[in-house]
Amino acid sequence: MTDITILGLGDMGAALAATLLDKGHSVTVWNRTAAKADPLRGKGAAVARRVDEAVRASPVVIACLLDYAAFTDAFAEAEYVLRGKTLVNLTSGVPRQAREFAAHFEALGVAYVDGGILAVPAMIGGPGSLVLYAGDRQAFETALPLLEALGTARFMGEDAGLAALYDIALLSGMYGLFGGALHASALIHNAGNSVVSFMPMLQEWLSAMGGTLPAMAESIDANDHDQRGGSNLAMQATGLDTMVAASREHGVDPAFLLPMQALMRRHVEQGHGREDVSGLVRQLMTI
């Protein structure tokens, strides 16, 4: 028997297994393409040839596969072996899938914990690595000494969909930041300037604007978008028109700005031009 089994040795699964081995845990691994297990065998992992063999080897099983379809494929004839085990599913999915899996595995006598990894493989086990968990609290707490080897382990609640929900929300914020930074960089680069010199200015600006987010959160929770900060939406919509025009004049596709411009225009046309930017959230919430 080993402490833990890792199913899936893609970039992330291999990083999870290597980190657990480095931190002194005994690990069994399995991957559909068997050759990916070779480097881990060299680090001391036990390599299973089949999923059922891998699951039998440990009380705690982490699955880190491409998506839920890959998970279903991998377990096609091996689910029954999970009875009595803790399954920690770090495969990305939507909250509904996590809840469906939780109900399905609970019925099979499996303690199910869903997870969302907020780190890239190179960060696993380091100080910046955060993994969100949700589902069976007791199973999470029992597995915690193993899970903490991967990074900060935060339990979001017994609703198994919560880890995926917060994971997707945090990643959505990240892609907004990346999109904005890419657009800004294209403007600077196309005008013949150094993006490397520009980036500290952008970081400083984004840090300052990040400070406005708690007030935005309060407005959204209270559903009160009265403008307080001196930057009404009608003014900002006109400013975005200028930004879109300037981007085109500099040969930069405004693709990242256009959805924001459209949301602002619609909100202003509906009579909310005096609101704060927080009011735009009402354009996004379709239910």
Residue with Cβ nearer ligand FVH (93 or 273) = 93
Q: In angstroms, what is the minimal distance from the CB of 30 to ligand FVH?
A: 9
Give CA–CA dist 83/87, Å, rounded. 10
Name the residue nearer to ligand FVH (CB basis): 89 or 247.
Answer: 89
Q: Least distance from C-beta 119 to ligand FVH, angstroms?
A: 6
Q: How many CB atoms lie within 10 A of CB 4?
A: 25
SS3 119: coil
Q: Which CB sits closer to ligand FVH, 2 or 92? A: 92
Q: How far is the CB of 34 from ligand FVH (least distance, A)?
A: 8
Q: How far is the CB of 145 from ligand FVH (least distance, A)?
A: 22
Binding site for ligand FVH (CB under 6 A): 8-13, 31-33, 36, 64-67, 70, 73-74, 91-92, 117, 120-121
Helices 233-249 & 162-190 angle (0-180, nearest 10): 50
Least distance in Å: CB of 148 to ligand FVH?
18
For residue 217, what are the contacts with CB-CB under 8 A and spacing of at least 6? none
Q: Where is 202: in which H helix or E strand? A: helix 195-210
Dihedral over Cα of 199, 204, 208, 214: its sign: positive
3-state secondary structure of 154: strand
Considering beta carbons, is residue 118 or 146 the nearer one to ligand FVH?
Answer: 118
CA gap 27, 3 in Å, rounded: 6
Q: Are 164 and 92 in contact (CB under 8 A)?
A: yes
Tokens of 215: 């007030």
CB of 110 to ligand FVH, least distance (A): 19
The smaller minimum CB distance to ligand FVH, of residues 33 and 242, is found at 33
Closest CB to ligand FVH: residue number:
10
* CB contact at 8 A, 131 and 119: yes
Using the minimum distance from each CB to ligand FVH, give the nearer residue, 10 or 59: 10
